[in-house]
Structure 1
């Protein structure tokens, strides 16, 4: 006879034992953990309670970093990208773990395609004024990966003022090597050059010949031992608070056969200031003879 104070519907009934079934419970698989975490983020996302969300975000982060099969597709199907956008606008530990996760998700082409519609572009750019260097590093890497092979995201980032924000970080943290390299890589990808983190570009500061100019050289490893590319980024101040950013890529051959390998055209992107990113100035495009052109991108930016 049951206890009178326990409702019948809440009583626990032991299921019949199956003698052919092991008594040990089967552990959760990686996909189970990921699905549970994604489901929890969907449920808790609107409340933005850091203590409850952070463990689930961390589970997703680990799965994406480990490149578990199908993990990126599960994130897309789950619909959590708009929630990540909200988390980035939060403060403290929730924002940092979200920035780490978004930086990893940005490496997955199937995921970053949805960043624009999910509001992640605007959310990421809003964080680029933060004084937190670790946070900035993850966000800048996200911007770089987003613009790696997507003209649509490149144009969206340009219209929203990504270039002046990256230039501002270069000047705010001149001694932070990792952050500097991430910004330079981001500028290259925004220009449409498609340089991945795995390319192994080595950056160093070059000697400037003009007052108010900062020069950066990025050297890529030789391809098959014959050619390498040198990326030249110049940031020139041409008026108080106004800077021109030019980017050139030179392909050169090794040994006595080295020469400039010129390609494509030059594009000019006049960009608005950080404070007024709503209006995009008209840009012009000029064709240069293929045999005498460098692959060049130039931005005009206001800090």
Structure 2
């Protein structure tokens, strides 16, 4: 009766955390530096003062890149995602750092689930007309990671014009390999391909057969060594601001594979799928061919876009 049981329990738990960080009472020990940085961003975020915010953004970036235990959960609880979206839309001195941070945050599934509601998806798209290639690189990487395994975010990005923006970057910077590769990866993931960065996809330009057409090949070797997935991306611009995108997946089998199966004709190819499903093909083309006359049927518009 009258004993301060609650304070005693709290004191005991608090002391146990100090003694043993792996205690079951606290599976994710708080990171004071990260907590302080998140709190500062939340308080100072609306003012977007570079000198004050930059070190805090860097602290969050370091914790996420090092995948410190519990860091992703702390970011989610902090509620800073709308502030990061505001920073991107402002296009101020913090844009590059913010885009880089958002790209790292997008690696964490628990964080990227909130990208749609926080406005980060549309904010990323808003910076994709920037002349700064570093901003474009990080924004495209963030979009690729965001759309990797979420049909909801894929649909949002498609409706907001992700495909024309990514294609426009491909056409604006044909000699920038790193930027080209991340945009192609983003195109595949927005379309529902689910191409993981860990797949080791290697991209190269192919020969085009039509004026205004760009062809890209992406090869992802299989660990068994007998076959590899090959993605073919065809991009055509047939009017200012209007693009057709065709993505196909093939399976390439090596000569070793065919030899094991009694075929001595050497390496062979066969089509594996087209965008994973026909519905995705329609979806990508539909949202990447704006300003087509409404009098045409969807079937005619799709056919015309593939000419």
* Correspondence 1:67 to 2:71: no
Shift of residue 93, structure 1, vs aligned partner: 2.9
Shift of residue 299, structure 1, vs aligned partner: 11
Greater share of helix residues, 1 or 2?
2
Q: Which residue of 2 aligns with 1:39?
A: 39
Q: Deviations over 1:151-196 (max 9, x none)?
A: 0000000000000000000111111110000110010001111112
Paired residue secondary structure (1:229): strand
* Correspondence 1:162 to 2:157: no
| TM-score, scaled to structure 1 | 0.79
More off after superposition, 106-115 vs 205-214? 205-214
Contact kept in structure 1, 2:38 and 2:78, CA below 8 Å: yes
* Correspondence 1:129 to 2:129: yes
Q: Deviations over 1:36-60 (max 9, x none)?
A: 1011111111221111111100000
* Correspondence 1:260 to 2:274: no
Equivalence map 1:53-64=2 (5 Å): 53-64=53-64
Q: Which residue of 2 aligns with 1:3?
A: none
Q: Which residue of 1 aligns with 2:212?
A: 212
* Cα separation, partners in 2 of 1:98 and 1:52, compared to 1, 3 Å: same
Shift of residue 259, structure 1, vs aligned partner: 4.4
Paired residue secondary structure (1:107): coil
Indicate the structure whose relative CO is greater, using CA pairs within 8 Å and at least 6 residues apart.
1
Q: Deviations over 1:208-237 (max 9, x none)?
A: 112221100001122321221011000123
Mapped to 1, the partners of 2:192 and 2:288 lie a distance apart of 19
Contact kept in structure 2, 1:40 and 1:56, CA below 8 Å: yes
Mapped to 2, the partners of 1:189 and 1:206 lie a distance apart of 21
Mapped to 1, the partners of 2:178 and 2:99 lie a distance apart of 16
**Backbone CA RMSD of aligned residues:** 2.6
Mapped to 1, the partners of 2:86 and 2:194 lie a distance apart of 29
User: Which blocks of at least 5 consecutive residues in structure 2 are unaligned?
Assistant: 1-28, 259-267
Shift of residue 241, structure 1, vs aligned partner: 4.3
More off after superposition, 220-229 vs 100-109? 220-229
Mapped to 2, the partners of 1:69 and 1:220 lie a distance apart of 31
Bigger radius of gyration among the two? 1
Contact kept in structure 2, 1:247 and 1:298, CA below 8 Å: no
* Correspondence 1:271 to 2:287: yes
Mapped to 2, the partners of 1:121 and 1:177 lie a distance apart of 24
Contact kept in structure 1, 2:249 and 2:271, CA below 8 Å: no
